[in-house]
Amino acid sequence: MSQAGLVVRAWANRGIAQLDQGPLVPFHFPRRLIRPLPGDRIMLDAQDSLIEVLPRKNEFGRGDARGRFRAVAANLDRAVIVIAPEPAPSPDLIHRYLAGAAIHGIEALVVVNKADLALPETGPFADLKDLDALGYRIVHTRCKPAADLAELPDLLGTGASLLTGQSGVGKTSLLNALIPDLDERTGALSQVTGKGTHTTTTATVYPVSENAVIIDTPGVWEYSLWAMPPAELQRGFPEFAPHAARCRFRDCRHDSEPGCAVRVAAENGEIPASRHAAWLRLLAEQRRLQR
């Protein structure tokens, strides 16, 4: 008899699944053949061995050191990109994350955590108003001294939400604020590493309610994209599409080509100049990744 479940965590050749009818169970899988991700729907046999990973609706991931796509989690309804004044994001971190989500058809929202600290007006923080104008949801939160999550609980009230961002921006703090009794609920799962810090080491699914989960992920120092053709990267800048249709060349890179409608739109302010500039930087970055 087989049993259906949700992958809560998977590493090396082992995982933990939440059975639809029953408890959390450990399971094994042959890593050579199959790599389940947190958020995957799976079938286990009566001995809790993995039989099948059901088809994914999407995957969120990042580029590895060799420019290959590495999936982090599956079946997401949204990616929550967490930034903070400290540690400050690099200029393109948010643009890369937004592109990484959009390319895989995953809605993204930006959480600016540590609202108790002054928000710098420079660097990537200056781009937030442009992102807001494009329709991206920007939510300001804090977990200290007293938590203030603004509209975040409502926004994450259904479906699967992935918390992603640099190490130390407060993803796990937000998780704890969103699920106040998390420790009691997940005592067996909680991990503490040395030095009194609680750096997250493995992406893990946490239940919020009957119909909502949050996936906490280990922070990265820098989020990288993977090597991809320019047409794929452009899916990460969906606001370009109506203009790109009017570029003279079908394979226009929206750089210095004659008749580029995207560049004209950026010059006219129809699309934010900051997004066009980010596009050119990510395109240049791609040339390095392709090597």
- State the binding site: 113-116, 165-173, 247, 252, 254, 260
Pairing status of strand 3-11 against strand 14-19: antiparallel
Question: For the stretch 10-33, what's the b/e string if a residue is b when 16 or more beta carbons lie within 10 angstroms of its beta carbon?
Answer: beeeebbbbbeeeeeeebebeeee
> From residue 175 to residue 204, what is the string marking binding to Mg ion with x (rule CB under 5 A)?
-------------------------x----
Residue nearer to Mg ion on the CB measure, 206 or 279? 206
Report residue 95: phi and psi, to 5°: -65, -40
User: Mapping DSSP to helix (H, G, I), strand (E, B) and coil, where does residue 207 land?
Assistant: strand
Residues numbered 217 to 276 that lie near Zn ion (CB under 5 A) are 247, 252, 254, 260, 262
Of the two residues 171 and 254, which places its CB atom closer to Mg ion in the complex? 171
Phi, psi of 145 (to 5 degrees): -65, -40
Size of the site for Zn ion (CB under 5 A): 5
| Binding-site partner at residue 260 among Mg ion, ligand GTP, Zn ion, none, CB < 5 to 8 Å by type | Zn ion
* CB-nearer residue toward ligand GTP: 171 or 243: 171
The sign of the torsion formed by the CA atoms of 69, 73, 75, 81 equals: negative
Site for ligand GTP in 235-254 (CB under 6 A): none
Residue 172 interacts with Mg ion (CB under 5 A)? yes
- Closest to 92 in 3D by CA, of 116, 59, 63, 135: 63
Residues 17, 27: contact at Cβ < 8 Å? yes
The smaller minimum CB distance to Zn ion, of residues 37 and 247, is found at 247
Least distance between Mg ion and beta carbon 88 (Å): 18
Question: Footprint of ligand GTP on this chain (CB under 6 A)?
Answer: 113-114, 116-117, 142-144, 167-173, 198-200, 218-219
